[in-house]
Each structure stands twice: as C-alpha cells, then as structure tokens.
Amino acid sequence: MTIEEKAEVMSGLKLPISLEFFPPKTPEGAEKLRGVRQQLYGLKPEFCSVTYGAGGSTQEGTFATVGAILKEGVAAASHFSCIGATKSSVREELATLKGMGVKRLVALRGDLPSGYGAGGEFHYASDLVAFIRAETGDDFHIEVAAYPEIHPQAKSPEADLQAFVAKVKAGANSAITQYFYNSDAYFRFVDDAYKLGVDVPIVPGIMPITSSSQLLRFSDACGAEIPRWIRLRLQAYGDDTTSIKAFGLDVVADLCEQLINGGVPALHFYTMNQSAPTTDILNRL
C-alpha cells in the first residue's frame, strides 16, 4: 500500500493523526528533516508539532522549523514552555508566533535544565494557558500535556488529575498524552478526567519502539512505564536491532489497534524525526 492509499484508509476511519518533530541542531539535520516531512506529509497529518527545548534553549530552531512547516502548506503547532519565563518574554514570543501565522500551541510548564534556578513568573502549565487566553483570546488552539501513568513530580495521582483538569478549565482545547504501552492507563485516565467535567479530546501520544537502551533510559525520567515483559524482551535482544524493531512494531501496532477499537479521537506520533517508525506502524493497522 502506498503512503497515499494509507492516508485514504485512515481518513475512511475518520482518525486524524498528528506528528511531532524536534528541532534539528545542524543545517544537515534540517535538510534531512525536510525530506522526512515530505515523506510523512503523504499521511495527511492534521498538524505537525515541534518541541521546544528546556528553558527555551531551542527557541530559534523550534520557530524556524515551525515556519518551514507552515511554508510547506501544513498546519504547525509550536510547543511552548513557560518555566523560567517572564510575562513580557512570553508576550513577545506569542506575538512572534502570531506574526508567523501559527494557530496552534502545545502549552507546557517544561523542565529547567539541571543547574538552573526556578525563577520566572509561571509555576505550572495552567498559569501559561490562562495567560495565553487572557492575552490573545481565541487566536490559538491550545493543546496541553496529559499523563495517564502520572507525572513523576505529582504529589499524588489525584493531585495530578486535578492539575490536568485545571489546565483544561484554564482554556485548553485538547490534550496529548505522554506515551504509554498500557492502554488501560489511558482509558482510565480519560474516564476519570471526563467525570471531572473535562470535555476536550485527549489524544494518545504514540512512541514507536526502535531501540532499547534509549527508550528504557528516557522513560524512567518522564513518567512513562515500560511494562516488565517489554523491558525484559528488549534487554534480551541486546544489540540485535532487527529483532528490537520487529518486536517494537508488533507491540506498538497492537497498542494502536486497542486504542482505535476503544474509540480514541486521534493518534499523535512521536516521530523521532524519522519516517519509517510511524509509517511502519500505520502500514500494520
């Protein structure tokens, strides 16, 4: 099946997809990402988002990549984090994004790189969402982050859920989750949030599995659990990347199938700036 035929099948399922990239660090990286985007545009994503480095460290690259996507005629969302920022710096950046024609933001608290003091005029993502709404009305569609397996710094699962509800009540239009490999955690989170009055789409974030050590290391820090059976299988493959990719594809395609059968509103793919991991999963569905 060609990528265009795949896009037709997904639109027949009425399942929008969105794609996430990170800003490349070098001109060669930017060129490579341009090619990856062209391949993935065949999937007709609803939008493509670009991450924003801790404490605004990649702001230039983020905005440049967002600008490039918009010029390619595709809707782009800029991730935007507020930790360490002042109201006047956020106001300026919002004006820049608006001037570029950006209509969608992923509003985050973010994490400061170690060694930086907290400072800044924003404490939580809910403060940023409220500020964006107060300053710019309905100019932006605002996405926020959700954690079906609970944010690592949360005081309790209940407090984390309340923090999510607060972000939505502050004016978020939709949410994207941290990745997970246990669909029960997602469905329970959605049920609990809806019981508390949340009525916006909560879109699962899908992380393809293509390598072992990187995923295991990263997941510990970001509030995503790798189930024991997956962790042990990945560790047992050692350096055998072919087996890791084949196993990862099985696991993540199964997960997407469970999510689609459960009625998710869309799928958001963490592409890792590569086309194959995402298209391989969609080809399997």
**Active-site annotation, residues:** 20
CA angle centred on 147, ends 60 and 254, rounded to 5°: 100
For residue 159, the minimal CB distance to ligand FAD (Å) is: 6
Angle separating helix axes 241-261 and 228-237, nearest 10 degrees: 160
H helices of the chain, in order, are: 3-12, 27-41, 59-71, 87-100, 125-136, 157-169, 183-195, 213-222, 228-237, 241-261, 276-284
3-state secondary structure of 39: helix
CB of 88 to ligand FAD, least distance (A): 21
| Residues 171-210 contacting ligand FAD, CB under 6 A | 176, 178, 205
DSSP states along 139-166 = SSEEEEEE-TT--TT-S-HHHHHHHHHH
Q: How many residues bind ligand FAD (CB under 6 A)?
A: 24
Among left, alpha and beta (phi > 0; psi -120 to 50; other), residue 84 is left
Q: How far is the CB of 22 from ligand FAD (least distance, A)?
A: 8
Q: Does position 153 bind ligand FAD by CB under 6 A? A: yes
Nearer to ligand FAD, 81 or 244 (CB): 81
- Residue 107, helix vs strand vs coil: strand
Question: Could you tell me which stretch among 95-103, 159-167, 188-196, 228-236 binds ligand FAD (CB under 6 A)?
Answer: 159-167
Q: Does 226 bind ligand FAD (CB under 6 A)?
A: no
Min CB(9)–ligand FAD separation in Å: 25
* Residues from 100 through 139 that contact ligand FAD (CB under 6 A): 106, 108-111, 124-126
With CB under 6 A as the contact rule, which of the stretches 33-41, 47-55, 134-142, 235-243 interacts with ligand FAD?
47-55
Q: Closest approach of Cβ 124 to ligand FAD, in Å?
A: 3
- Residue pair 275/40 in contact (Cβ under 8 Å)? The answer is yes
Q: Which amino acid is at 225?
A: E
Q: Looking at beta carbons only, is 43 or 83 nearer to ligand FAD?
A: 83
Residues in contact with 270: Cβ distance below 8 Å, sequence separation at least 6, in sequence order: 20, 179, 205, 206, 207, 208
Nearer to ligand FAD, 57 or 283 (CB): 57
Question: Is 18 one of the binding residues for ligand FAD (CB under 6 A)?
Answer: no
Rule CB under 6 A: is residue 145 a binding residue for ligand FAD?
A: yes
Choose one: 29-37, 49-57, 209-217, 274-282; the region binding ligand FAD (CB under 6 A).
Answer: 49-57
**Segment interacting with ligand FAD (CB under 6 A) among 27-35, 112-120, 147-155, 211-219:** 147-155
- In the chain, how long is the greatest CA-to-CA distance? 52
Alpha helices in 196-275 (DSSP H): 213-222, 228-237, 241-261
Nearer to ligand FAD, 48 or 163 (CB): 163
Positions 63 through 82 that interact with ligand FAD (CB under 6 A): 79, 81
Burial of 30 (0-12, 13-18, 19+ CB in 10 A): middle
The yes or no reply on residue 245 touching ligand FAD (CB under 6 A) is no
Q: Which residues bind ligand FAD (CB under 6 A)?
A: 51-52, 54, 79, 81, 106, 108-111, 124-126, 145, 151, 153-154, 159-160, 163, 167, 176, 178, 205
